Structure 1
Amino acid sequence: MLHLVTIGALDAVVGEITITTHRAKIVDFTQPYIESGLVVVAPIRKMKSSAFAFLRPFTPMMWFVTSMFFLVVGTVVWILERRTNDDFRGPARRQVVTIIWFSFSTLFSTHRESIVSTLGRLVLIIWLFVVLILNSSYTASLTSILTVEQLTSSVKGIESLLASNDPIGFQRGSFAENYLTEELNIRRSRLVPLKSLKEYEKALKDGPANGGVAAIIDERAYMELFLETRCEFSIVGREFTKNGWGFGFPKESPLAIDTSNAILKLSENGELQRIRDKWITRSACSSEGAKQSVDRLELRRFSGLYLLIGVACFFALLCYLTRMVYHFSRHSNRNCEASSCLRSFLFFVNKKEGEDNHKPKARQKEKCCCKVLMHEDRSCNDSSVCVHIENNATS
């Protein structure tokens, strides 16, 4: 029809003509009188209630990574606190239980272990902030799941259609065919042309297994009319184009300007919206798309938080290791072999802070008392220790 305008066979084209870049090169369009981008319509079904509905706010990967970070943070805090905090010392079995208990008790801020080191407090503050965000997101998502009528579809939007090989329906003769093949690179063999709303309904009900389609891509205004009395289908995903409908005139036609001014006046006084509300009525069925199932919280949405706590843990461990190496170098034998130095370093890290400062004093006392025994010098202050050594020597 627009081609007939260009050759002078028609003076204008009036109707639901979608304004596209290619068409705008050959004719002059008026201001759009309605916005109508492409949307995806697919069959939907009500989601059955489950005893494990509390797991649905997070995806499986989100649950796994979150659990791992609880254990990682607990282990990091245990390493940072072990030398200075008696709550994190003891038998190996008790330490493992302490790590697990401390890790998951931070979810409710009920951990009974006190944190005394600066690095440990730094890691814990950042982790509690991450837990606060996770708690709030989980609560909001679970509330939506339990209170909103849940509808689900195997098709989630244009992205899921691009990732699959299912057939897709479209309106025969519309610009959607070229858009899907040229812009979205969908194979033409997947596209099924349909020409009426009844064909839309039949193709969606049959499904891909019976020669139908998985979804239909068409303009929103058409789909709103289609969904008025068909509650088993719904718009899924987002509107992925922004087009409008307008009237077409020959290039430089004064009628295009006059008609655009009339459309703008109707839009400004609200008459255009009243016309749309009257003839394109949104019934209960056509608005079901607002009740789609709440998107599950994915890992990528919280990647920044996990990166933050990961960097904090790495920084704290690096500072702790640097400090331990520095203190160990002051107390160790510099001529030891690599294997013996490593064992000595691990033994040094495992000791409670302050133990290495008492042993030299004890050796000094013992040496003093040995001198007392050998030279019979009674100037030593610790006479009880000297007498104990003398008695042992006599016996």
Structure 2
Amino acid sequence: MDTKSTSEMDHKLLNASWPGKETDKPRGWVAATKERPLRIGIPNRATFVEYVTEDHGTHEIQGYCIDVFNASLRFVPYDVPHRFIPFGDGKSNPSYDELVRMVSEDVFDAAVGDITIITNRTRIADFTQPYAANGLVIVIPNRNSNSGAWVFLKPFTAEMWGVTAAFFLVIGLVIWILEHRINDDFRGPPRRQFITMILFSLSTLFKTNQVDTISTLGRMVMMVWLFVLMVITSSYTASLTSILTIQQLSSPITGMDSLIASNLPIGYQVGSFVGSYLTDSLNIAKSRLVVLESPEDYAEKLSLGPTNGGVAAVVDELPYVKLFLSDRKDFGIVGDMITKNGWGFVFKRGSPLAMDLSTAILRLSESEDLKKIGDKWFCKDGCEAGRHVSDPNQLHLDSFWGLFLLCGSVTLTALIIFLVKTVRQFVRYKKKQRDLMSQYSSATSSTRCAQAVYSFFDFIDEKEEAIKKMFKQYEDPPSIAV
């Protein structure tokens, strides 16, 4: 065969096709093909479903772990056809050890979910680089120390203190307005009136008023205000008593050492490796361990306490605990993290996908996409760094807004009635004054308006008794001799 014929045959050769009709050179391990996609087992969780579960309505596999896996695949330099297969009935959390074992026995090609990387599991399967930091922590009822020079401020939140102080000032001002025209105790030089107003308002807290209210409207406002004060002071006293005595109820658990030595019952999540870790690694008796089905069980058993059929503490992985504490402020973490590990994706031994996905996870983390996925699932209402957590024994404004609304409504109504009554009285006074002295009026309209405004404030400042004398004088003018 000559050179020309050989050249023509070379031009007719097609690209090499590998098994599965793939054009890329194989890597020595067939990961998956479109005809045989990767079989990925996922834990069908019943609790903490934000991480991974199957939607019972649409049968869609969703969760934080699923989004991380799908995002990581974008950084893998080849296509990985796959299908998710739920493991578990969705009514209780499945055994994660069993899921990893099924990967090692070729029931699944891989497993994706909130699967913790621990020694026993790495002996039978390969894990990727951790995509979420993890570790065991201890949760106990939140019993903060409440001693200190300013402990008396703790029964109320800052908002509650602010609104209460504002109402003291408002009530004092309104009572001064209602009593100023008829009560000599609220008259005098401006400085004396101001001091009287402030002292009267504060003295209502101790119900030792040295100044009495005379007007009907003033007494009505005081009756409602004293009722509000009675409820507030009673609640304050009860809360302060609880805060000062709560130290006697504090949990004796300060960390893992005290938890082991206490011989108190310990709760852990069903399906978790925590139970075997506590018994095998820390030599805690199985009789002390209590399996908990849900976050509601956590809260119930911790609230009951070890003496009432509950538990002294719950040991669980940090991501679950963070989600549990996100809307429960009466529990908290105590001590240091017991273990330091992470969550990873599981593959059969020798699978190149474990290495490639590890590289992809690192790139995903560097691009900040990993953080965005976390914000999507766990910061739907906004994540605030260093969010303030109030003491569970504090009284919030939400508990008293009805009382403040009632008091504010009555006070505003009394003030409006007083102003309407005074304005009508002022109009009558000006009308009579104008009728008797119209022949002496030569001021312009704008001047009369300015005088009327000035006269109105003078009129309010005048004693009610003097105003009545003025009306009597205008109604019975002295006779003029002819």
The one of the two structures with greater contact order (alpha-carbon pairs below 8 A, sep at least 6) is 1
Higher helix share: 1
User: Could you tell me the TM-score, scaled by structure 2's length?
Assistant: 0.38
